[in-house]
């Protein structure tokens, strides 16, 4: 046993390994990603990236049925994708223990919504545990395997950014000896056709009753007895804020948030003058506590219903003023993230912006193409939606004069769910242009492998899927592979696809590796004396390019420039030049 500084994600991975989990299946997604990356480093485990979360959970259910303890991890929106197998896995139950991490993102640091995974647990009748820090993340995960087998149901672990990405010292333990269970054929348990699902539904209801009994005694639900005027029910990271914000309040910290311990909540409520429920991002806990027949008090002042909570926000809800402080000046400019200097796909957005296309976007770095100066994205909803939404746009715009409709999707996102969307378009003879920005990696979440780059999580030998071959096999006639660093090639390909083949479906594969993959630099570019302050280069939104606030003269930051040469192709005055190879050290940074 020893103490290690661990993030919540690392602790969940450790807990799974200590419990004897040997199989890990996931799709990356912030804030969950490092959990599977960390699990993959333990001895004796097999871990893989699947194409999407639904596939991951199905692989997980299969591996559990065959007798292994399994870990699946995903971000909250991944649970939407995985919901189909999840709901029915709550009928089949498990053989080897099965734990699924749902990492929520209240405050939306890196997500398109801030949904609360508790609702899934309740809807699917899958028990859910809420660790409040990394130590609990390890302990709860480890115990969840035993509980999963005891109650014959997958267990969910819910974390948030502040649990997943907060490091704290964690006491690690020993790995338990877990012997793989044998598989025995049992269609009544595993074949969920109506004849078998009906009795399993009854099994599920009996299980809920057993869980409700167990949860009353479960040590994960803890009362911190302090004053008797105010009682607070909370869970997860919010507990840490409550403890600091309200030193006089007694707290019922729920480690199991579905099902709720009815007796425990009721008796806690009776022990205090007023009971409050403090939670972030949704009203799940409040409505569950109310549903127990417990009276929940209104806050004296407002508590935000959106975003993350903090001790300060909780204090404000109880009428405490913010301490004296210096206000941030009103003229501080925003600093949004941007596509990297040398990002191979910057020109695709520049050219889409130029032709004023209706661009249906997708989830990944390239969502940043939305922001000015590129301003080249009309929509972004969920993984794969670019392709299916462009089909929808085309359907509704058919017969009307309209701007070209172009879907933009990354290679990993295409593998996740864009492919099935594209099949729909092909099958229904849809039109439009689909741009696959193939940067050879899953860039936004930290450069994970995917089917189209052939890199696997544990660096096992694999095969790189032939993207063009797949597209051609679907019967798409207009497929081109384009060098995205070449402005004329990008412009020409988009022109052909959106004008000449406007009534047909075209797929353009813009293939060039993410700049962060190999970190290769060529000699940098600089602005010579011919700059006429036209500002065109600054419309590329490259972090290395700036223009003088007064003169408008462009400037390239030599340290940031990686020598991609995209900007030079846009300069009408030949004012952007590359330094000769001999005058600076090229090579790897």
Partner 1 sequence: MSAKTVLLCGVGGQGTILAADLLARAALAAGFEVKVSEIHGMAQRGGAVTTVVRYGDKVNTMVADVGESDIVVSFETTEALRNIAFLKQGGYLLVADETIKPLPVACGFASMPADAHRKLEDAGAVLIPAHDLAVEAGNAKCENVAILGALESQLGFGLELWSKVIEGRVPPKTIESNVKAFELGFAFANERA
The distance of closest approach from Cβ of residue 17 to partner 1 in the complex, given in angstroms and rounded to an integer, is 22
Q: Residue 403 carries which DSSP code?
A: P
Pairwise CA distance, residues 26 & 82, whole Å: 10
The distance of closest approach from Cβ of residue 387 to partner 1 in the complex, given in angstroms and rounded to an integer, is 23
The distance of closest approach from Cβ of residue 332 to partner 1 in the complex, given in angstroms and rounded to an integer, is 5
Q: Which is nearer to partner 1, 367 or 498 (CB)?
A: 367
The distance of closest approach from Cβ of residue 235 to partner 1 in the complex, given in angstroms and rounded to an integer, is 14
Q: Which is nearer to partner 1, 340 or 476 (CB)?
A: 340
Total Cβ atoms within 10 A of residue 111: 20
Q: 230: which strand partners?
A: 274
The distance of closest approach from Cβ of residue 134 to partner 1 in the complex, given in angstroms and rounded to an integer, is 9
Asked whether the CA dihedral 202, 204, 210, 216 is positive or negative, the reply is negative
As a dihedral over the C-alpha atoms of residue 494, residue 500, residue 504, residue 505, rounded to 10 degrees, the angle is: -20
Q: Which is nearer to partner 1, 227 or 293 (CB)?
A: 227
Please compute Rg for the chain using Cα positions: 27
Pairwise CA distance, residues 105 & 115, whole Å: 8
Q: Which is nearer to partner 1, 352 or 508 (CB)?
A: 352
The distance of closest approach from Cβ of residue 46 to partner 1 in the complex, given in angstroms and rounded to an integer, is 26
SS3 21: coil
- With 0-12 CB in 10 A as exposed, 13-18 as middle and 19+ as buried, what is 490? buried
Q: Which is nearer to partner 1, 88 or 110 (CB)?
A: 110
Pairwise CA distance, residues 257 & 287, whole Å: 12
Q: Which is nearer to partner 1, 181 or 447 (CB)?
A: 447
List Cβ<8 Å contacts ≥24 apart for 78-81: 78/27, 78/29, 78/32, 78/52, 78/53, 78/102, 79/53, 79/117, 79/120, 80/115, 80/382, 81/27, 81/52, 81/53, 81/54, 81/383, 81/417
Q: Which is nearer to partner 1, 88 or 310 (CB)?
A: 310
Please give the residue ranges that form the binding site for partner 1 (CB under 8 A). 5, 30-31, 109-110, 133, 161-162, 165-169, 237, 240-241, 243-245, 308, 310-313, 322-329, 331-340, 365, 368, 372-373, 444-446, 535, 538-539, 541, 543, 545-547, 549, 552
Q: Which is nearer to partner 1, 208 or 555 (CB)?
A: 555
- Can you state the angle between helices 53-65 and 76-92, rounded to 10 degrees? 30
The distance of closest approach from Cβ of residue 324 to partner 1 in the complex, given in angstroms and rounded to an integer, is 5
Decide: 414 and 436 in contact? Cβ < 8 Å. yes
Q: Which is nearer to partner 1, 473 or 549 (CB)?
A: 549
- Can you state the angle between helices 134-151 and 194-217, rounded to 10 degrees? 130
The distance of closest approach from Cβ of residue 315 to partner 1 in the complex, given in angstroms and rounded to an integer, is 8
Q: Which is nearer to partner 1, 189 or 521 (CB)?
A: 521
Decide: 434 and 378 in contact? Cβ < 8 Å. no
- With 0-12 CB in 10 A as exposed, 13-18 as middle and 19+ as buried, what is 295? exposed
The distance of closest approach from Cβ of residue 145 to partner 1 in the complex, given in angstroms and rounded to an integer, is 27
Decide: 339 and 481 in contact? Cβ < 8 Å. no
């Amino acid at each position: 046993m020893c103490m290690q500084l661990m993030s919540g994600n690392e602790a969940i991975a450790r807990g799974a390994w200590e419990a004897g989990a040997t199989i890990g299946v996931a799709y990356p997604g912030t804030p969950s990603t490092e959990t599977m990356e960390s699990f993959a480093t333990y001895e004796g485990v097999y871990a893989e990236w699947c194409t999407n979360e639904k596939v991951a959970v199905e692989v997980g259910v299969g591996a559990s049925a065959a007798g292994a303890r399994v870990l699946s991890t995903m971000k909250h929106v991944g649970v939407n994708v995985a919901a189909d197998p999840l709901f029915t896995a709550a009928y089949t139950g498990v053989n080897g223990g099965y734990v699924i991490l749902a990492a929520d993102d209240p405050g939306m640091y890196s997500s398109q919504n801030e949904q609360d995974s508790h609702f899934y647990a309740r809807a699917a009748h899958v028990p859910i545990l809420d660790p409040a820090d990394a130590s609990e993340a390890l302990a709860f995960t480890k115990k969840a395997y035993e509980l999963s087998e005891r109650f014959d149901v997958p267990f969910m672990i819910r974390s948030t950014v502040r649990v997943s990405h907060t490091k704290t010292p964690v006491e690690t333990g020993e790995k338990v000896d877990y012997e793989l269970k044998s598989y025995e054929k049992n269609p009544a348990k595993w074949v969920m056709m109506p004849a078998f699902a009906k009795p399993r539904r009854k099994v599920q209801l009996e299980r809920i009753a057993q869980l409700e009994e167990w949860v009353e005694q479960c040590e994960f639900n803890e009362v911190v007895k302090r004053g008797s005027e105010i009682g607070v029910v909370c869970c997860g990271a919010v507990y840490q804020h409550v403890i600091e914000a309200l030193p006089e309040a007694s707290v019922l910290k729920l480690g199991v948030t579905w099902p709720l311990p009815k007796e425990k909540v009721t008796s806690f409520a009776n022990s205090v003058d007023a009971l409050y429920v403090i939670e972030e991002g949704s009203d799940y806990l409040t409505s569950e506590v109310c549903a127990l027949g417990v009276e929940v008090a209104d806050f004296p002042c407002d508590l935000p219903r959106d975003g993350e909570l903090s001790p300060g926000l909780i204090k404000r809800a109880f009428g405490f003023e913010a301490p004296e402080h210096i206000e941030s000046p009103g003229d501080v400019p925003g600093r949004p993230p941007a596509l990297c200097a040398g990002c191979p796909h910057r020109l695709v957005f520049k050219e889409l912006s130029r032709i004023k296309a209706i661009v249906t976007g997708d989830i990944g770095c390239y969502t940043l193409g939305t922001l000015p100066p590129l301003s080249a994205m009309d929509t972004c909803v969920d993984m794969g939606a670019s392709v299916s939404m462009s089909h929808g746009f085309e359907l509704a715009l058919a017969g009307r004069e309209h701007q070209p409709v172009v879907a933009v999707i990354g290679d990993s996102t295409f593998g996740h769910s864009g492919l099935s969307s594209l099949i729909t378009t092909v099958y229904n003879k849809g039109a439009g242009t689909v741009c696959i920005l193939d940067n050879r990696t899953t860039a936004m979440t930290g450069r994970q492998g995917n089917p189209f780059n052939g890199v696997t999580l544990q660096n096992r030998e694999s095969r790189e899927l032939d993207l063009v071959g797949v597209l051609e096999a679907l019967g798409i006639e207009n497929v081109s592979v384009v060098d995205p660093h070449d402005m004329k090639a990008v412009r020409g390909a988009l022109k052909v696809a959106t004008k000449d083949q406007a009534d047909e479906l075209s797929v353009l594969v813009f293939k060039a590796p993410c700049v962060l993959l190999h970190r290769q630099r060529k000699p940098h570019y600089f602005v010579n004396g011919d700059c006429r302050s036209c500002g065109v280069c600054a419309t590329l939104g490259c972090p290395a390019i700036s223009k003088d606030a007064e003169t408008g003269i462009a400037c390239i930051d030599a340290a940031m420039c990686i020598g991609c040469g995209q900007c030079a192709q846009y300069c009408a005055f030949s004012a952007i030049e590359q330094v000769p190879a001999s005058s600076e050290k090229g090579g790897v940074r």
